[in-house]
Amino acid sequence: MVLLASPILAGCSGVQSALAPAGHEAEEVARLFLVMAVGAGVIWTLVMAAAIYATRIRPEPHEEHIGRKLILWGGVAFPVVVLAGLLIYGLGMMSELRRPGEGLRIDVSGEQFWWRVTYRPKDGAEARSANEVRIPVGERVEFALTSPDVIHSFWIPALGGKVDMIPGRENRLVLQAERPGTYRGVCAEFCGASHALMAFPVVAMAKPDFEAWLAAQARPAAQAVETARGGELFRLNGCGACHAVAGTDAKGEVGPDLTRFGERATVGAGLLPNTAENVIRFIMETDTLKPRAKMPAYPNLPHADLAAIAAYLGSLK
């Protein structure tokens, strides 16, 4: 049994598992799951034992008052006590899970099909990003979650429960990572053709590292001479109509902010590793890599131009 279960359970570890909690909230949720799973196992065993007893061991008719007692205790009293106990246990966790954050707020908007991220530190400049979330370890970070059009659901299984992103509403979620690492967040509500293709890395950093990183976000990304040609092509092809790169005249709001694209781990919202080849591929085949995304594909751009644009984007750090 253990041998049979081990390969299955091995699939529960890793960067995107609610059963491998790396944060306080996720631990609470995992504990609730464990309590319910063990409880359900015990009850299932009791019910099976009763069924075997009644059909195999003593199949003959029983006295009526015994049957009535069984229904009263086993069918009414027992479920009422167990379900009330579970409800009280679950409600007791809620106050803990709803404690407010400690200063850093991160606004995340679910888009079709990517994530708009704005860091709002208590003191210090706000910073824009996309498709990646960075948080300091050991701090309760408050997420303000919304969406402009359809419902998405923001879920970082290793750090906590999922919360819907609903147009016209702002939902709050507080998460705290207990140890540094990279986790994976996903969209957990069907939001359109590329619902399964919007994910994001979550990087939990030691607090001093995070603060240095966030402070650096306030200045515009470096513009290197070697990638100036790519920057020019980015401008000439109109990329800036949808994408913003702080410090340049690219100020588009429709698509992901690319100011520090070069330091992100993925391209296309968790879709592919962030390499120059994948950036080129994403620009050429947007429609097949991410069906129904608002960005058109550019299959006819000369390869040299695509390579220059990819080099430019990769240099934005």
Binding site for ligand CUA (CB under 6 A): 110, 113, 152, 187, 189-191, 195, 198
Minimum CB distance to ligand CUA smaller for 155 or for 234:
155
Of 20, 31, 35, which Cα lies nearest the Cα of 181? 20
CB of 109 to ligand CUA, least distance (A): 11
Query: Which residues are within 8 A (CB) of 80 and not within 5 positions of it... i.e. 6 or more apart?
Result: none
CB of 194 to ligand CUA, least distance (A): 8
CB of 197 to ligand CUA, least distance (A): 9
CB of 171 to ligand CUA, least distance (A): 14
Minimum CB distance to ligand CUA smaller for 28 or for 107:
107
Minimum CB distance to ligand CUA smaller for 23 or for 110:
110
CA angle 30, 36, 42 (to 5 degrees): 135
CB of 153 to ligand CUA, least distance (A): 7
Query: Which residues are within 8 A (CB) of 140 and not within 5 positions of it... i.e. 6 or more apart?
Result: 99, 100, 101, 102, 174, 175, 176
CB of 150 to ligand CUA, least distance (A): 7
Q: Are 234 and 312 in contact (CB under 8 A)?
A: yes
Minimum CB distance to ligand CUA smaller for 73 or for 190:
190
| H-run or E-run covering 8 | helix 2-10
Minimum CB distance to ligand CUA smaller for 24 or for 162:
162
Dihedral sign (CA 166, 167, 170, 175): positive
> Tokens standing for 126?
């706000």
Minimum CB distance to ligand CUA smaller for 111 or for 263:
111
Minimum CB distance to ligand CUA smaller for 197 or for 308:
197
- Max Cα-Cα span within the chain: 92
CB of 152 to ligand CUA, least distance (A): 3
Minimum CB distance to ligand CUA smaller for 80 or for 196:
196
Question: In 98-242, which ranges are continuous DSSP H helix?
Answer: 207-217, 228-236
Of 161, 128, 142, 93, which Cα lies nearest the Cα of 259? 128
Distance in angstroms (rounded) separating the CA atoms of residues 160 and 140 = 12
* Residue type at position 89: Y
CB of 146 to ligand CUA, least distance (A): 13
Minimum CB distance to ligand CUA smaller for 187 or for 205:
187
User: Do strands 127-130 and 133-136 pair parallel, antiparallel, or not at all (unpaired)?
Assistant: unpaired
> Tokens standing for 186?
């996903």
CB of 254 to ligand CUA, least distance (A): 16
Taking phi over 0 as left and psi of -120 to 50 as alpha, with beta for the rest, 39 belongs to alpha
Q: Are 165 and 110 in contact (CB under 8 A)?
A: yes
